[in-house]
Amino acid sequence: MANVKLAIVYYSSTGGNYQMAQWAEKAAKDVGAETKLVQVPELAPEEAIASNPLWKKHYEATKDVPEATSGDIEWADAIIFSAPTRFGTLPAQMKNFIDMQGGLWGAGKTINKVVSGMTSAQNPHGGQEATLLSLYTSMMHWGAIIAAPGYSDDSIFASGGNPYGASAAVQNGEIVEDIKGAVEHQARRTIDVAGRVVAGS
């Protein structure tokens, strides 16, 4: 298999999606991928963050995680996006990062990136499906190749059976579903598809 470069681009306020991003990175490294784990810039003012102790704690703890750049997107063969829902679509923080790639897009450099997404919400049906579908809509504008997991592994059923991507219910910053296996499978599947796409270029 071709050596695959995977960017894991996440936004997390209380840590759930950061945990998922880390699981995905580990699984991708284990199958030989080169990885970058990067966070999108925060948009919320400091006082908003400070008003929520879990958010504040996570924000401080991850200050050293590099910020995602256009260079990371250009570099990557595959991208896994991970972000919680905000009213059924991506948080503005993640959308802002995506919106800012207009330059890359205009230069045709987003075409054929292999993409999948992960998400979380407080409620079990609180946007876990809709948020991922919204991500994929934007990715189609990019000309990306979408490799949602479907029901391609038993771990998906065990984790709640979201075919659009691994998803968690996160309460008080804790993931309350058994989704580690589904995240790892999704990472491996993304690498597998990207490896084929790259090898055939």
Binding site for a second copy (CB under 8 A): 1, 43, 86-93, 95-96, 98-99, 105, 108, 110-112, 121-130, 133-134, 136-138, 140-152, 157, 160-164, 167, 192-193, 195-197, 199-201
Judged by beta carbon, residue 82 or residue 167, the one nearer a second copy is 167
Report the nearest approach of a second copy to the CB of residue 48 (Å): 8
Report the nearest approach of a second copy to the CB of residue 8 (Å): 20
Report the nearest approach of a second copy to the CB of residue 154 (Å): 11
Report the nearest approach of a second copy to the CB of residue 169 (Å): 9
* Secondary structure of the chain in HEC code, one letter for each residue: CCCCEEEEEECCCCCHHHHHHHHHHHHHHHCCCEEEEEECCCCCCHHHHHCCHHHHHHHHHCCCCCECCHHHHHHCCEEEEEEECECCECCHHHHHHHHCCHHHHHCCCCCCCEEEEEEEECCCCCCHHHHHHHHHHHHHHCCCEECCCCCCCHHHHHCCCCCCCCEEEEECCEECCCCHHHHHHHHHHHHHHHHHHHHCC
Buried-exposed string 25-47: b where 16+ CB fall within 10 A, e elsewhere = bebbeeeebebbbbbbeeebeee
Judged by beta carbon, residue 21 or residue 40, the one nearer a second copy is 40
Report the nearest approach of a second copy to the CB of residue 150 (Å): 3
Judged by beta carbon, residue 129 or residue 184, the one nearer a second copy is 129
Judged by beta carbon, residue 22 or residue 171, the one nearer a second copy is 171
Report the nearest approach of a second copy to the CB of residue 6 (Å): 16
Judged by beta carbon, residue 26 or residue 130, the one nearer a second copy is 130
Alpha-carbon gap, residue 7 to 9, rounded angstroms: 6
Judged by beta carbon, residue 8 or residue 179, the one nearer a second copy is 179
